[in-house]
């Protein structure tokens, strides 16, 4: 798998929300300063495309999938989406049901036949009691991602599982000071988990 990852003929597209975006739209290199940049540094060879946009939900990815992902003719697509599908329920009273989330996610996966897929669990390391209540909404969406990874033959990066375990050791703010957006340490962990999933496949 490592040889495939380092193939300079390959294009890898990372799609998602702010966790992926990380300022890439104002970065001359287009990478941002998060886990995608960490992976770019670890994977000299393939073309790396960051297609994250802050605030986006799964349905937003569907709307821009053709131009932002498929147009690059990727050999591998990594998707990390879902936390805003939960968050908007609590800060804007604009919920996305697990069924709606799954329907949108399938629209992302269906055009990618023959493309290697990596699905990253959306994750939350609650920093207060209010965020702990988000689990009621997020957990069914996590089950959707896990089930779709199996159905579509995708690699699954167990980010929520691993962030939760690490947060119990070092404290959630060490990984994401607001419970959602990773710190530098959180981005390093996410990149390490991504590489581990592919190297173990």
Active site residues: 18, 178, 181
- Whether 62 and 53 have beta carbons less than 8 Å apart is answered as no
CA atoms within 13 A on the CB side of 119: 24
Q: Where does residue 153 rank: exposed (0-12), middle (13-18), buried (19+ CB within 10 A)?
A: exposed
- Distance in angstroms (rounded) separating the CA atoms of residues 112 and 101: 18
Distances in whole angstroms, Cα of residue 182 to Cα of each of 70, 97, 140, 179: 27, 25, 22, 8
- Whether 134 and 173 have beta carbons less than 8 Å apart is answered as no
- Whether 124 and 85 have beta carbons less than 8 Å apart is answered as no
3-state secondary structure of 69: coil
- Distance in angstroms (rounded) separating the CA atoms of residues 49 and 1: 19
């Amino acid at each position: 798998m490592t040889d495939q990852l380092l193939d300079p003929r390959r294009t890898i597209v990372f799609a998602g929300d702010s966790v992926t975006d990380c300022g890439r739209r104002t970065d001359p290199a287009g990478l941002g300063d998060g886990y995608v940049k960490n992976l770019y540094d670890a994977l000299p060879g393939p073309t790396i495309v960051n297609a994250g946009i802050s605030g986006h939900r799964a349905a937003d990815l569907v709307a821009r999938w053709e131009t932002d992902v498929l147009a690059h003719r990727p050999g591998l697509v990594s998707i990390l989406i879902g936390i805003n599908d939960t968050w908007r329920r609590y800060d804007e009273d604009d919920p996305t049901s697990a069924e709606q989330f799954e329907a949108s996610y399938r629209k992302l996966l269906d055009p990618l036949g023959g493309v290697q897929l990596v699905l990253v669990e959306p994750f939350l390391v609650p920093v207060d009691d209010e965020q702990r209540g988000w689990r009621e909404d997020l957990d069914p969406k996590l089950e959707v991602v896990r089930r779709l990874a199996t159905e579509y033959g995708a690699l699954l990066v167990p980010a929520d599982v691993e962030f939760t375990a690490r947060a119990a050791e070092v404290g959630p703010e060490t990984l994401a000071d607001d419970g959602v957006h990773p710190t530098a340490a959180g981005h390093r962990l996410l990149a390490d988990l991504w590489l581990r999933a592919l190297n173990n496949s």
